């Protein structure tokens, strides 16, 4: 069940900003290839909340692995640094619309979507 008043969305970092985006936060560990920082229109880069390099490489955005990726990522999010970063995102969401950005071509099976679902609880 979504928390009342929280507006959290997931979009591609390469997409042009929209008026209702609110705070735009990149949640990937790596900066999106070919995206100029000056033109990115990203408010924050919260790479501390991103999955570990090992988990990211294992997952490789394989739809068949998304359920297991989600389980493993939830475990990683309990680690101190990631937990603190998640709390920061939760605070941002409380103050207005939060748009989580990712470079993946399939944002619906990305860490951004996992984070959005956690934040909406």
- Give every CB contact of residue 70 below 8 A, 6+ residues apart in sequence: 114
Per-residue pLDDT tens digits for 3-38: 455 799 999 999 999 999 999 999 999 999 999 988
Which pTM does this prediction carry?
Answer: 0.92
For 2, 4, 26, 53, 87, the CA distances from 103, given in Å and listed in that order, are 25, 28, 9, 15, 22
Using CA atoms, how far apart are residues 44 and 70, in angstroms rounded to an integer?
23
Tokens representing residue 40 in the block: 């990115």
State the pLDDT at residue 6. 77
Using CA atoms, how far apart are residues 68 and 49, in angstroms rounded to an integer?
18
Per-residue pLDDT tens digits for 51-77: 999 999 999 999 999 999 999 999 999
């Amino acid at each position: 069940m979504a928390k009342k008043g929280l507006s959290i969305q997931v979009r591609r970092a390469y997409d042009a900003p929209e008026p209702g985006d609110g705070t735009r936060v990149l949640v990937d560990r790596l900066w999106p290839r070919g995206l100029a920082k000056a033109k990115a229109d990203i408010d924050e880069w919260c790479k501390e909340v991103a999955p570990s390099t090992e988990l990211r490489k294992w997952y490789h955005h394989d739809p068949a692995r998304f359920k297991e990726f989600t389980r493993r990522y939830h475990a990683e999010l309990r680690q101190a640094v990631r937990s603190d970063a998640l709390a920061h995102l939760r605070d941002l969401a409380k103050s207005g619309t939060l748009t989580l950005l990712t470079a993946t071509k399939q944002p619906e099976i990305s860490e951004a979507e996992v984070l959005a679902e956690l934040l909406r609880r």
